[in-house]
Amino acid sequence: MTNVIRVQTLDGKTIEFVDEIVGSGAMKDVYFTPCKTKVVAFYREPQDAASRDRLEMITGAYKDRIFDAPGGNYWREQFCWPEHMIEHEGKLGMVMPIYPEHFFFEYGSINNDMLGIKGKEKQGKWFASSNNRERFLDAREKGNWLNYLQICLKIARSVRRMHAAGLAHSDLSYKNVLVAPTKAQTCIIDIDGLVVPGKYPPDVVGTPDFIAPECVATGHLDKHDPNRKLPSIYTDRHALSVLIYHYLLLRHPLRGDKVHALDPNEDETLAMGENALFIEHPSDTSNRIKLDNVRESELPWKDTDKLPYTITGPYLSPLFERAFINGLHKPNDRPTADEWETALVKTLDLVQPCVNSACTQAWYIFDNTKSPSCPFCTQKYEGALPVLNLYSSRDGANFKPDNHRLMVYRDQSLFPFHINRQLVPNERLDDKFRKRVGYFIKHHGRWILVNENMPDLSDVKSKTPIPPGAHIELIDGLQLLCSKDVGGRLFVVQMVNN
């Protein structure tokens, strides 16, 4: 029978844990509370004063800054944030929430879970590797491409929140971001290592694959050498870009076939560091993936001609270019988490369901051509496809393009943040703006917008109001004013006929 140990947290709460290690990380051993609703994690090694101080801030001021702010509740599911600090038998530790159930495999691997991973944590690496996903994972665990876009949005949003609070995670990787693709949920873990610029230095370098090139290139220097580059918000930005690229394209942006050195370790160090080169660099093609070297299970993902990064659409593509071409070796040029979040929100309005019901990815991004097709299964879109171009006004008279489009598909919804530029779908959005205000259906071959809750909706040219409950057919050139409020949007309909 194992013992239950009762300890006081440093903020005066009583907590119990079962004296049996249920998991071990690189630095900590983890125990369950008797009710298994929390875990207690202890550092194996004694921690210095700065680490203690940091943990105190993480469980105190930093936690409050994020969770007690407006919209703070939203973050409870996005972060596994240490709640209390404890000390027991000379070891420093923390109390944390357990991961929600959807972050553990429900079905696991194929063939009646041949790998025995049912019930194990859903580490991102299972889903970010085409080989793992295709050969081992049960189909019910995989999720589709829309799910991965949503996952990327959630990760970007969570990183944006940390950065906005002046905190760098310092070790963003598949391991430290749990994902539940079928539920489009993510959770950032291992937060106790976070870095505060100028205050708490990093104690990890990060995970290979995600370490910024400048950190790899200076990794041989001593930690106190002024030329050594350490994890920071800038290196988090690199890691975030790699995560997004990897989840959407199932390949690493820097792992091509260029041989930098004959010794494998030296080669890896150069490939991820000093000589890091984007596999899809437009002019320097020396690091392209050679298809002869690729495993069957890695296709079509590793075929950069078939699935170039541009399939991610017009908002994400320029960010990938900044992350891996201009900003790869210039940390200041890297896209911020905020920019990724904005681009992902807009990209989610560009998705189109694939008409091929057997398509494994099920969704793709409109490619701005007159005969769009799914890049994953090559299925062409059939019939008329309406595209709404979003405009908004600063003065109520002149409407300017917002560089934002909304694709129409069956049962696609319109939300308040589509019809008003000033509303942004994030954690601060008020509940009253989260309700659908209209939807689209296809009826007898014609596309119809049904108004549910847009009191101002009107056809601009004919000046005809379309009151809630009424509907209007979408035709090429139709202009719809959605809202007379400040920031109200005007839609211009384009029909893609093929």
Say if residues 241 and 320 touch (Cβ distance below 8 Å).
yes
Task: Give, as ranges, the residues between 134 and 173 that touch another protein (CB under 8 A).
Answer: 135-136
What would the DSSP string read from start to end of 428-495?
T--GGGSS--EEEEEETTEEEEEESS-TT-EETTTTEE--TT-EEE--TT-EEE---STTBEEEEEEE
* Residue 126 interacting with another protein (CB under 8 A): yes
Minimum distance from residue 134 beta carbon to another protein (Å): 12
Minimum distance from residue 115 beta carbon to another protein (Å): 5
Contacts of 162 (CB under 8 A, 6+ apart): 66, 168, 169, 188, 194, 236
Minimum distance from residue 284 beta carbon to another protein (Å): 16
* Residue 110 interacting with another protein (CB under 8 A): no
**Contact window for another protein (CB under 8 A) among 51-59, 274-282, 293-301, 396-404:** 293-301
* Residue 51 interacting with another protein (CB under 8 A): no
Minimum distance from residue 57 beta carbon to another protein (Å): 24
Contacts of 353 (CB under 8 A, 6+ apart): 362, 363, 409, 410
How far is Cα 442 from Cα 479, in angstroms, rounded to an integer? 19
Find where tokens 């409109």 sit. Answer: 366
* Amino acid letter for position 301: W
Minimum distance from residue 178 beta carbon to another protein (Å): 13
Toward another protein, which CB reaches closer, 103 or 174? 174
Minimum distance from residue 305 beta carbon to another protein (Å): 19
Residue 492 forms beta bridges with which residues? 389, 479
* Among 115, 291, 450, 460, interactor with another protein by CB under 8 A: 115
Tokens of 137: 């994972």
Rounded to 5°, angle at Cα 247 from 377 and 196: 165
Site string for another protein, 205-224 (x = CB under 8 A): x-xxx-x----x--xxxxx-
* Residue 176 interacting with another protein (CB under 8 A): no
> For residue 121, which phi and psi values (nearest 5 degrees)?
-65, 145
Contacts of 263 (CB under 8 A, 6+ apart): none
400, with CB counted inside 10 A (0-12, 13-18, 19+), is exposed
Minimum distance from residue 221 beta carbon to another protein (Å): 7
How far is Cα 352 from Cα 363, in angstroms, rounded to an integer? 6
Toward another protein, which CB reaches closer, 209 or 236? 209
Toward another protein, which CB reaches closer, 208 or 383? 208
Query: How many residues interact with another protein (rule CB under 8 A)?
Result: 45
Minimum distance from residue 68 beta carbon to another protein (Å): 35
Task: Give, as ranges, the residues between 239 and 268 that touch another protein (CB under 8 A).
Answer: 257, 259, 261-268
Toward another protein, which CB reaches closer, 202 or 313? 202
Strand 351-353 versus strand 185-188 pairing type: unpaired
* Among 272, 350, 423, 474, interactor with another protein by CB under 8 A: 272
Which residues of this protein are in contact with another protein, per CB under 8 A? 26, 44, 115-117, 120, 123, 125-126, 129, 131-132, 135-136, 174-175, 204-205, 207-209, 211, 216, 219-223, 257, 259, 261-269, 272-273, 293-295, 298
